[in-house]
Amino acid sequence: MKAHTEYLTFHTKKRRELVRLTPTLDAILAKSGIVDGFMLVSAMHITAAVFVNDDESGLHEDIWEWLEKLAPFKREYEHHRTGEDNGDAHLKSMLVHHEVTVPITEGRLDLGPWQQVFYAEFDGQRDKRLIVKALGI
């Protein structure tokens, strides 16, 4: 049994941004030598998320509009008594979830034909970390 861990750092130009991770995850898996198991991809911050869906720009616009509707940016969060203004980013992170587990089969990420892994930044423009850990045979 093997375990392989890497940390990625993102510093997005915009406050909110999607970053496609799949090519980077493919490269990490190749280095790990793991052929069968799981890869955990997990944001280490509480104002970001990781999800699997389509790499289609129209859908990404829909996702942002939808997130803004369900967990809107606004001044009136109690969290803002701390001086922060990112209450919406915490709720968006809970809604989307901060992690995914991707299956590894025959040395490849075992994703469906349209599945891409994305990092979703909800409060960027500063360094944010993410952990990738593969575990298996």
The radius of gyration of the chain's CA atoms, rounded to the nearest angstrom, is: 16
Residues 6+ apart with CB under 8 A from 2: 32, 33, 34, 134, 135, 136, 137
79 binds its own copies (CB under 8 A): yes
Q: Find the binder of its own copies among 26, 27, 127, 137 (CB under 8 A).
A: 137
* 108 scored as a contact of its own copies (CB under 8 A): no
Q: Hey, which residues between 19 and 58 contact its own copies (CB under 8 A)?
A: 36-38, 40, 42-46, 51-54, 56-58
Q: Where along the sequence are the contacts to its own copies (CB under 8 A)?
A: 1, 3, 5, 36-38, 40, 42-46, 51-54, 56-59, 61-63, 66, 70-71, 77-82, 87, 90-91, 93-103, 105, 110-115, 129, 131, 133, 135-137
